[in-house]
Amino acid sequence: MTCDWSTSLHDETAKADVTTNSRDFVVGSDAPLGGNRVKRVRSAAVAALCVSAAVCGTASRAATAQAATPGVDSAFKRFWDATTPPQAATAAGQIVTSGVLFDDAFARLERGRTYTAKVPRGIVSLVHRIGGTDFPCVLEVPGTYDPGKKYHVRVQLHGGVGRPEAAPRTNGIGALAGAEQIYVLPTAWASAAWWTDRQLTNLRVILDTVKRTYNVDENRVVLSGVSDGGTAAYYVAMRDTTPFAAFLPLNGTLAVLRNRSMRIDGELTPNNLRNKPMFIVNGGRDPLYPAAEVEPFIEHLSRGGVDLTYRPQPEAGHNTAWWPEVKETFERFVREHPRNPLPDRLTWESDLGGGTGRAHWLVIDTLMPAAGGPPTRREMTDLNDFTTGPLPNFGLRVAGTRILSIAEGSNASIFDFRPGDVVVSINGTMVPAGTSVLEALGSYQPNQVLGFVVSRGGRSLELTGFFMSAAPGGVTPLFRRTSPTGRVDLVKTGNTVAVTSTGVSAITLLLSPAAFDFTKPVIVTAGGRTVFDGTVTKNLATLMTWAARDNDRTMLFGAELKLKLTP
């Protein structure tokens, strides 16, 4: 990856210090730190030493530590100066061999780097390359940015991803501005839609870059979006929860993601929405995703244990004219829902594609073969089981291509049809005279936006809305699967972890000294049996490996437990 910066700055001291940088980045690199490990050895002879010798040894060790400090300091400087995770991983390996002790390294990582005031502010543009494609992004950084203060971050995803080319929002956050914070405005387009693995990688790279440049509160990073961006907030929450404190979809819907013709990457796993709180807004008069058609999905999530706040806007269309009234409620929700970087409860389901096998301190390593897996799914409430009442039919009475009447409150009513309209085409495909409009509709997949051209009073009009087909009530999959997935639920109580799983054969638990007492045994149970019972040792290489990857002062790990869940 190459990354270039340009900026429109609010202060001249920062402007004088800005240059254009190019840097290389291997996306998705998980290279180990050369296998280096630090092992503490205690000789039995030490116990026989006299007090004077012990004092002498203590003085000698202190002198050695003092002599090693410059090497440790320089190794950490290289670590903090790294501009990408692979560079940080190289520097982390040097820290492991520098002689630093675990507790000292842990304390340094908690403190973090020293940030400079000489950084771009105002509207900042950057571009990085993934797989030969340039991904532009715009940041909006407060002109009063203070490196001594930790800043909230809102990642804001735009709508209209069907546009043919990338169109960065060079005016910044605009009318959706809220409290003082750093705004991250990525870009999507038709060949790089939000619901792709490339965009998940894009978001990870952007956040890593921002955290290496600005003093970000890692537990105050949220993701929001409008229209397609709102729909994408659901997608990201199901595929990559770890970096985010909350998800705030505006004018979006899960229903769009049910349309597999949209070339969505990966299996969609609504159980994962239970991990983070959600703030949802939809408009009652939205012609694309009206609140009445979105609410069955919202109610399903709420019944299934998703922590959500829903603020419908009954008179709103497909726009954000309601923002001035909702802004303070939105920002208060963000303030009241910081991320817990080391939660006691986690549920995560994944197909392991696109680097989506991890949630915080849980990593799913291996799935069971498609036909295998312990019979535990019955014990795990599955949000993919979508229970509905009967959905109404489309709501048109027609005579061929002529519309006779529109049922009030029906799917058809959101398109603004009028009695007497003659349907000319659907999504650009002509409807031949004499053909039933309802028969023509049968060739279109539900859960997508349809555009009708109608003839009305001698004029040609285009009517657009969201098409949902009729379906009987009952339990249906919210998202149909084409590949196997595996799921793990964790409940931590003190040093004991209870694992419930289905379709997973191996996991890794990342243990933090901030969450586990390393002086006491750790016990892990799975499927009614104990899969681990013992003490763990703080491991410097583990600490530095994950610190290089995560770039997160609040989520530091001192040991890995690799566990097989199958007998």
User: How far, in Å, CA of 40 to CA of 96, rounded?
Assistant: 13
Coil vs helix vs strand at 291: helix
Coil vs helix vs strand at 529: strand
User: How far, in Å, CA of 240 to CA of 247, rounded?
Assistant: 11
Q: What are the two backbone dihedrals, phi and then psi, of residue 502, each rounded to the nearest 5 degrees? A: -150, 135
Residue 374 CA, distance from chain mean position: 28
Q: Tell me what percent of the residues of the chain surpass a pLDDT of 90.
A: 71
User: How far, in Å, CA of 388 to CA of 298, rounded?
Assistant: 12
Residues 400-458 have pLDDT tens digits of: 889 988 887 788 888 999 999 999 999 988 887 777 788 788 778 788 899 999 999 98
Mean pLDDT lowest for which of 41-45, 171-175, 265-269, 376-380? 41-45
Is 2.30.42.10 the CATH classification of the domain at 396-470?
yes
Residue whose pair of structure tokens reads 């929002």 in the numeric block: 169
User: How far, in Å, CA of 295 to CA of 275, rounded?
Assistant: 20
User: How far, in Å, CA of 280 to CA of 234, rounded?
Assistant: 10
Pairing of strands 216-226, 151-157: parallel
Mean pLDDT of the chain: 86
Token pair for residue 210?
């921002």
Q: Is pLDDT of 16 > 60?
A: no
Pairing of strands 151-157, 182-186: parallel
The per-residue pLDDT for 446 is 82
Q: Is pLDDT of 53 > 70?
A: no
What is the pLDDT averaged over residues 469-495?
86
Residues 92-149 have pLDDT tens digits of: 999 999 999 999 999 999 999 999 999 999 999 999 999 999 999 999 999 999 999 9
The per-residue pLDDT for 246 is 99
User: How far, in Å, CA of 408 to CA of 134, rounded?
Assistant: 47
Where does the pLDDT of residue 26 fall: very low under 50, low under 70, confident under 90, or very high at 90 and above? very low
- Highest mean predicted confidence (pLDDT) among 36-45, 375-384, 548-557: 548-557
Q: Is pLDDT of 275 > 90?
A: yes
Contacts (Cβ under 8 Å, ≥6 apart) of 329: 311
Q: Is pLDDT of 70 > 90?
A: no
122-340 and 396-470 have identical folds = no
User: How far, in Å, CA of 453 to CA of 463, rounded?
Assistant: 6
What is the pLDDT averaged over residues 34-60?
33
The per-residue pLDDT for 443 is 72
- 168 contacts 137 by C-beta, under 8 angstroms: yes
> Which CA distances in Å does 204 have to 209, 267, 354, 510?
9, 19, 12, 20
Residues 72-95 have pLDDT tens digits of: 999 999 999 999 999 999 999 999
Helix, strand, coil percentages in the chain from 3-state DSSP, rounded to 5: 30, 30, 45
C-alpha triplet 195, 197, 200: angle, nearest 5°: 80
Residue 349, class by beta-carbon neighbours within 10 Å (0-12 exposed, 13-18 middle, 19+ buried)? buried
The per-residue pLDDT for 28 is 32
Token pair for residue 177?
């501005």
Residue whose pair of structure tokens reads 């003839």 in the numeric block: 455
DSSP H helical ranges for 48-152: 51-81, 85-96, 102-111
Q: Is pLDDT of 260 > 90?
A: no
Contacts (Cβ under 8 Å, ≥6 apart) of 431: 401, 423, 424, 425, 437, 440
Q: Which of 295, 250, 208 is nearest to 551 (CA)?
A: 208
Where does the pLDDT of residue 12 fall: very low under 50, low under 70, confident under 90, or very high at 90 and above? very low
Q: Is pLDDT of 342 > 80?
A: yes
The per-residue pLDDT for 389 is 59
DSSP H helical ranges for 118-254: 197-213, 228-239
Coil vs helix vs strand at 108: helix
What is the pLDDT averaged over residues 229-247?
99
* Paired strand residues for 157: 225
What is the pLDDT averaged over residues 21-41?
32
For domain 122-340, give its CATH number from 3.40.50.720, 3.40.630.30, 2.102.10.10, 3.40.50.1820.
3.40.50.1820
> Which CA distances in Å does 322 have to 159, 229, 319?
17, 17, 8
Phi/psi zone of residue 102: left (φ > 0), alpha (ψ -120 to 50 degrees), beta?
A: alpha
Where does the pLDDT of residue 17 fall: very low under 50, low under 70, confident under 90, or very high at 90 and above? very low
Q: Is pLDDT of 159 > 80?
A: yes
Overall pTM > 0.85: no
Q: What is the residue extent of each domain of the chain?
A: 26-111, 122-340, 367-385+479-564, 396-470
The per-residue pLDDT for 192 is 97
The per-residue pLDDT for 379 is 57
Q: Is pLDDT of 3 > 60?
A: no
- 6 contacts 125 by C-beta, under 8 angstroms: yes
Q: Which of 152, 180, 140, 363 is nearest to 245 (CA)?
A: 152
Q: Is pLDDT of 551 > 80?
A: yes
- 235 contacts 257 by C-beta, under 8 angstroms: yes
The per-residue pLDDT for 115 is 98
The per-residue pLDDT for 158 is 98
The per-residue pLDDT for 408 is 77
Mean pLDDT lowest for which of 38-42, 445-449, 510-514? 38-42
Where does the pLDDT of residue 563 fall: very low under 50, low under 70, confident under 90, or very high at 90 and above? very high
Where does the pLDDT of residue 470 fall: very low under 50, low under 70, confident under 90, or very high at 90 and above? low
Angle, in degrees to the nearest 10, between helices 51-81 and 85-96? 170
Q: Tell me what percent of the residues of the chain surpass a pLDDT of 70.
A: 84
Cα dihedral: 557, 561, 566, 567 (round 10): -160
Residues 180-219 have pLDDT tens digits of: 999 999 999 999 999 999 999 999 999 999 999 999 999 9
Residue 235 identity (one-letter amino acid): Y
Q: Please give the full DSSP string across 384-420, using - where no structure is assigned.
A: TEEEE-PBP---EEEETTEEEEE-TTSGGGGGT--TT
User: How far, in Å, CA of 231 to CA of 168, rounded?
Assistant: 19
Residues 289-337 have pLDDT tens digits of: 999 889 999 999 998 999 999 999 999 999 999 999 999 999 999 999 9
User: How far, in Å, CA of 259 to CA of 446, rounded?
Assistant: 7
